[in-house]
Structure 1
């Protein structure tokens, strides 16, 4: 399977669709009768005066999520190949993205983090453009607005603002105007939200938006069943091998590739740790980790020498996903 996707063959787009269906069919068979839908945070719900919560049936919800994942996978693949971050054209980022997006049940339905992945892809594209951007202040401003829009959809996305500054440090010589431009872009969106709150006589509630930022990081997370997380074993093995392979080749890679992987690593850490601002722990949050993880996995699968090893690891990952979708503990 991996060997077939190591080249940029257009026929692989059809195989991607097949993989997408295979990895979701078990969830469709045991589909819940009702799946809650939330597209924006409660503080931004006033901006959408339409009752959409009960507008999607469960099957339509899963199908829509699958379509979004497929589009995101192709977009990610395009970005990686456009900037040659894996040294040669390949369909591996798309394959890994579709596979990783099927790890858990909450990954398979429409959710704010899934929608925010479009914004993460947009951010990655703009941040990579900073390397040779003739208008970095305009890009920084746009990045700030993107993070603000993502915050309206899913509040933990606010920490992606740190990725903007990380990108400016990695790709640009220091210029305080660019850093301020990102802040202005972010504030612009929330300025209009504050005006809306003022017009509706709710301005005293505006400050409550920021209260979750003061939450303490949890010392422990309550997990109902540890068996459902065994699917992460092959994920952790592949991730470890990806880090080892990347470390071996890091200084032999060209400059943009090294900088891009530094940025993706920083975005992965941000996405991994920012869940704490939500009062209820939800696995769907970790959809925000998919973009950097997919690129790292694809890097290993493309540069690994022993075909039997990477094919076996991918097979175990797929089999564990299917097994744990059919078996709930």
Structure 2
């Protein structure tokens, strides 16, 4: 399958769609009677006064989530090929994204973090454009607005604001106006949000929006470790990616090196921001799927032993499907 997606063939989109369905069959068979879908934070419910959480049946929920993942996979593939992050045009980023977003059952349903991946991919288009852009002020302003929109959908997304400043550090010489532009973009969205609160006589509670950011980082998390065995093939592949990337690091274009630095930063920020939500949920970590998919795609793009990388990917697929039917 890896060899099939190494080539840049538009027909691979059809195979992607089939894989999206296959990776969701197990969950559809075992899905609960009801699935809740909340795509805005509680403080934004004034914008959506009607009840919608259970408007979709579990089957509709999972199928719509599959379509969302397929669309995001195609966008991510276009992004990686546009900026030549793999050194060649392939469909591997889309394949890896579809695979990574099926790692856990919580990834297979519609959720606010999953929708935020559209915004994250949009941010990456703009962040990567810093490298050749002469004036990044307008781009930073747009990025601030995107982060603000993401915060309304899913509050932990606010930490992706750091990616704007770190992107400026990585790609551009220091210019304080560009740094301020990102803040102004974020404030613009919430200024109009504050006006909406004022018109609804709720301005007093507007300041409580950011209260969860004061939550202390947890000292321990109660998890069932056996449910995470599916990550073993992923960890192996990421380790192989790091090995291959460090060998090719200085052979790569400067923009490619800087882009991977930014992706690593985003991966870390997205992973560590889970604590903002009082209840631990694996759903949050679907935000890590975008950079993780690029890392995995890089390894498979440069892997040379067909029997090994095909077997490794097959092991990953089998693990995903197995753990959909077996929880510990």
Above 0.5 in TM-score?
yes
Distance in 1 between residues matched to 2:216 and 2:154, nearest whole Å: 19
1:198-277 correspondence runs (5 A): 198-223=198-223, 225-277=224-276
Quote the offset at 1:108 in angstroms: 0.4
Hey, what's the Cα distance between the residues in 1 that align with 2:138 and 2:145?
11
Q: Aligned residue for 2:81? A: 81
1:113 paired to 2:113: yes
What SS does the corresponding residue of 1:132 show, helix, strand or coil?
Answer: coil
Gaps of 5+ in 1: none
> What CA distance in whole angstroms lies between the structure 2 residues aligned with 1:43 and 1:104?
28
Q: Give 1:245 deviation, angstroms.
A: 1.2
Runs of 4+ in 1 over 3 A off after TM superposition: none
Aligned pair 1:280/2:270, yes or no?
no
Gaps of 5+ in 2: none
Question: Which runs of structure 2 are paired with 1:49-64 in the superposition (5 Å)?
Answer: 49-64=49-64
> What's the CA shift string for 1:231-282, capped at 9, x where partnerless?
0111111111111111111111011100100000000000010001110111
User: In the alignment, what sits opposite 1:159?
Assistant: 159
1:70-127 deviation per Cα after TM superposition (whole angstroms, max 9, x unaligned)? 0000000001001111000000000000001001111000000000000000000011
Cα distance between partner residues in 2 of 1:281 and 1:181? 33
1:309: Cα distance to partner? Answer: 1.6
TM-superposed CA distance for 1:328, in Å, is 2.1
Distance in 1 (CA, whole Å) between partners of 2:309 and 2:167 is 31
Q: Which moved more, 1:111-120 or 1:192-201?
A: 192-201
Local SS of the residue matching 1:259: helix
Give 3-state SS (helix, strand or coil) of 2:209's partner: helix
CA distance in 1, matches of 2:78, 2:304: 25
Partner of 1:305: 304
2:188, 2:155 → 1: CA distance?
A: 17
Query: Which residue of the partner structure matches residue 90 of structure 1?
Result: 90
Q: 1:3-82, aligned counterparts within 5 Å?
A: 3-82=3-82
Aligned equivalents of 2:252, 2:135: Cα separation in 1: 27
TM-superposed deviation, 1:146: 0.1
> For the residues of structure 2 that align with 1:83 and 1:256, how far apart are their CA atoms?
8
TM-superposed CA distance for 1:68, in Å, is 0.2
CA distance in 1, matches of 2:204, 2:169: 37
Q: How far is 1:66 from its partner? A: 0.2
1:134, distance to aligned residue in structure 2 (A): 3.9
Separation in structure 1 between the aligned mates of residue 44 and residue 179 of structure 2, nearest angstrom: 26
Name the residue aligned to 2:325: 326
Matches of 1:264 and 1:290 in 2, distance apart?
11
Q: How far, CA to CA, are the matches of 2:227 and 2:19 in structure 1?
A: 21
Q: Does 1:289 align with 2:280?
A: no
> Distance between the aligned counterparts of 2:54 and 2:19, measured in 1?
29
CA RMSD in angstroms, aligned pairs only = 0.9
TM-score normalised by the chain length of structure 1:
0.98
C-alpha displacement at 1:135, in angstroms? 3.9
TM-superposed deviation, 1:12:
1.1
Q: TM-score, normalised by structure 2?
A: 0.98
Deviations 1:26-59 (Å, cap 9, x if unpaired)? 1111121100110100011111122211211111
SS class of match (1:40): coil
Give the count of matched residue pairs.
328
